Structure 1
Amino acid sequence: MNIDTLIKNRKVYDDISIYQALKMMDVEKSKVLFVFNYDEDFISILTIGDIQRAIIREHSLSTKISEILDKHKIIATCDEEIEEIKAKMLKLRAECMPILDRDGKLINILFWNDLFLDGTKIDDRKINLPVVIMAGGKGTRLKPLTNVIPKPLVPVGEKTILEEIMDQFESIGCMEFYMSVNYKYDMLEFYLNQLEHKYNINFFKEEKPLGTIGSVSLLKDKINTPFFVSNCDILIDQDFRDVYDYHVENKNDITIITAVKNFQIPYGVIETTTNGVMTGLTEKPEFNYMINTGVYVLQPDLIYEIPENEFFHITHLMEKVRTKGGRIGCFPVSENSWRDIGEWDEYLKLIRV
């Protein structure tokens, strides 16, 4: 296959910004781009991991990717046998391997799924961490559907939202689930008890609304390892093992998965000073923010920082951690990697795909 066809729509030049690269990954539903200079020389590959590490290192989204590229990534040459290349990919757990000729020109790209037909996974690590799912809300944004069924049981394809979330965690080895329930909890428990699954589900009920993290106080003495917390209406296209690795390596008390969100004001924005004198004009400015997705990793001791039987949000816990000098880390994902399907617009987009 012609190399241009092979990398169609995933070829970029090294002067684009991190944000532009993220948008292209979202559009192409790919986590790898192939970077060239304007002399058409292949430079390197750019992965979502490269971008996430750059954002964590506080590079702005306007930074050119040339500044964050790892130009020493391991590649293969046309002189290597296929088994050598496979061994190299297996060691690196690399999604793809560029093949260069003797002049350094990109002539081919081998992809994991094309080489490992026996089902060998890129990453087969298992992290059996507890997962707490906050499933007690009324789902008011999805009314009138949630007048009939609880939000976690809203269908997404052939499964429910809740099953999609749990299956993603189960795929990386998480087998112990704690389900915070309240609204229509009897229907939720009945449905989940009928399912054939490998994981264990422990239900715990808040007798009154306790906020976005308050009910977790009921898990004192039940969880003694780091654990995930997830809202029941959030889907994130991200390997949660990477999030946990970041959490451990940075010794975080809380890690928040954040989504890069872009907003553009469709007008010229004017800046003024005393007496309305104009000092500046920016045409259709763009602003980038990190949005809280509603998925976290928490240290187990934080359960004891949550007051019992009190309304308590995750933001209250974050402020408590910060006041005590604790560390809260943010792990970024691209805008389209995060789907908040607890409202009609996003839910309808998802089921129409």
Structure 2
Amino acid sequence: MEGRVPTELLIARSATGIEALRQMDAVGHKMLIVVNADGGFHSILTVGDLQRAIIASYDIAQSIDGLLDPKSKEYAYVWESEEDIRQRMLAIRAEFMPVLDEAGALQRLYLWEDFFPSTSHVAEREPLDLPVVIMAGGRGERMKPLTNVIPKPLIPIGEKTILETILDQFAAIGCHRFYISENYKAGLLQYYLSELELPYSITHVVEDKPMGTIGSVSLMAESIDTPFFVSNCDILVDQDYRDVYDYHVSNSNDITVVTSMQAQRIPYGVIESGPDGLLERVIEKPENIYMINTGVYLLNAEMIDLIPRDTFFHITDLIAEVIAKGGRVGCFPVSERSWRDIGTWAEYLRVLG
């Protein structure tokens, strides 16, 4: 097994969900091989397992052991042919496939690129063609003085702008109808996009005045009649949005908010005391997990009717109204490093490396 299975893909059953998510972020894979205390193979853990656990209110500060399914078929045996393994990986879109011997010991690992060197395991899924609204009208106050010259959506990341990167990510899953809500430096943004040969449709929706984080969607009421995505123009989320759609539909949500799990460690011992003021315990440097709004949403078309026309209106206002009316607002979690807020200098420079 030595040299065949990267040790960074192995995780102990005793590890916590938080540790598993961080390891996935670090190695750039959304699957890990779970091993027993003796190093023997136990099962596979996927980011989907963790996401479903979080949605079900599982405490990911606890061991992953309670999430594991040793009967999972995301592995193969040494007597199976490479073609059979290839077909199974294709069927379940597995990033990799562990291979076990007769005793259940891990012998080797097939990576997706071993069989499909020119395609992504994500690209093999059925395409999802939903409208996408990009909120690109802000002034980019946190990115001044750069945004005094260019609008925030045109800030470059490598050879492309942030906006192009977001558009390409949605296009990769099948989305081809984009609505860009614009206000600040709208003319410059439109000119830039007109010079590109893009393989999808773009409709420019210009706000005559700032309308908040969702208000301009009211101007698209006659154009959108299916569920649709909404994304801020300064964030990147490493997530196949088809999973978000599946979760949205299966739970009959009116709105689904894509959230990011962010850890905050308190660098001190925290005191817990009773009602009599006596110390009960000291928690040394505790770490708390919070769900952060990433700025990506999936909304049913009917939600547009709840957005007042030609009015300043935030997405938080819409969410509050939906909840007040008894609607369903779900949260779809992604890992800490799967979300990048490019709208700040610190994070922008970190992405640039």
2:63 corresponds to: 64
Compute the displacement of 1:63 (Å). 2.5
Compute the displacement of 1:9 (Å). 1.5
Q: Distance in 1 between matches of 2:352 and 2:231?
A: 21
Unaligned runs of 5+ in 2: none
Cα shift readout 1:139-173 (whole Å, capped 9, x = no counterpart): 00000000000000000000000000000000111
- Give 3-state SS (helix, strand or coil) of 1:188's partner: helix
Matched, 1:132 2:103: no
1:54 corresponds to: 53
Cα shift readout 1:216-264 (whole Å, capped 9, x = no counterpart): 1111111000000000000001001111111111111000110000001
- Counterpart residue type for residue 334 of structure 2: V
Q: Distance in 1 between matches of 2:214 and 2:265?
A: 32
Q: Is the contact made by 1:7 and 1:34 (CA closer than 8 Å) also made in structure 2? A: no
- Give 3-state SS (helix, strand or coil) of 1:287's partner: strand
2:92 corresponds to: 92
1:41 corresponds to: 40
1:167 corresponds to: 168
Q: Distance in 1 between matches of 2:283 and 2:121?
A: 48
Question: Structure 1-normalised TM-score?
Answer: 0.96
Cα shift readout 1:90-130 (whole Å, capped 9, x = no counterpart): 22222211111111111011111111246475523111100
Compute the displacement of 1:4 (Å). 5.1
Q: Distance in 1 between matches of 2:92 and 2:177?
A: 30
RMSD between superposed Cα atoms in Å: 1.6
1:20 corresponds to: 19
2:241 corresponds to: 240
The answer to which of 3-12 and 217-226 deviates more is: 3-12
| Counterparts in 2 of 1:275 and 1:97: CA distance versus 1, 3 Å | closer
Cα shift readout 1:46-85 (whole Å, capped 9, x = no counterpart): 1111111111121111121111012111121111111111
- Give 3-state SS (helix, strand or coil) of 1:222's partner: coil
The answer to which of 105-114 and 127-136 deviates more is: 105-114
| Counterparts in 2 of 1:155 and 1:80: CA distance versus 1, 3 Å | same
Q: Distance in 2 between matches of 1:316 and 1:139?
A: 22
How is 1:174-253 mapped onto 2 (pairs within 5 angstroms)? 174-253=175-254
In the alignment of these two chains, the number of paired residues is: 351
1:29 corresponds to: 28
Compute the displacement of 1:285 (Å). 1.6
- Give 3-state SS (helix, strand or coil) of 1:321's partner: helix
Compute the displacement of 1:3 (Å). 4.0
Q: Is the contact made by 2:258 and 2:334 (CA closer than 8 Å) also made in structure 1? A: yes
Q: Distance in 2 between matches of 1:117 and 1:312?
A: 46
Q: Distance in 1 between matches of 2:2 and 2:334?
A: 29
Q: Is the contact made by 2:4 and 2:109 (CA closer than 8 Å) also made in structure 1? A: no
- Counterpart residue type for residue 251 of structure 1: S
The answer to which of 343-352 and 21-30 deviates more is: 21-30
1:287 corresponds to: 288
Q: Distance in 2 between matches of 1:282 and 1:36?
A: 29
Q: Distance in 1 between matches of 2:112 and 2:132?
A: 30
Unaligned runs of 5+ in 1: none
- Counterpart residue type for residue 87 of structure 1: Q
Q: Percent identity?
A: 52
1:109 corresponds to: 109
2:319 corresponds to: 318
Compute the displacement of 1:274 (Å). 6.6
| Counterparts in 2 of 1:91 and 1:276: CA distance versus 1, 3 Å | closer
2:8 corresponds to: 9
Q: Distance in 2 between matches of 1:327 and 1:23?
A: 30
| Counterparts in 2 of 1:113 and 1:143: CA distance versus 1, 3 Å | same
The answer to which of 77-86 and 127-136 deviates more is: 77-86
Q: Distance in 2 between matches of 1:84 and 1:273?
A: 61
- Counterpart residue type for residue 41 of structure 1: G
Cα shift readout 1:156-192 (whole Å, capped 9, x = no counterpart): 0000000000000001110000010000000000000
| Counterparts in 2 of 1:282 and 1:124: CA distance versus 1, 3 Å | closer
Q: Is the contact made by 1:264 and 1:287 (CA closer than 8 Å) also made in structure 2? A: yes
- Counterpart residue type for residue 345 of structure 2: W
Q: Distance in 2 between matches of 1:179 and 1:38?
A: 52
The answer to which of 92-101 and 9-18 deviates more is: 92-101
Compute the displacement of 1:279 (Å). 4.6
Q: Distance in 1 between matches of 2:98 and 2:317?
A: 47
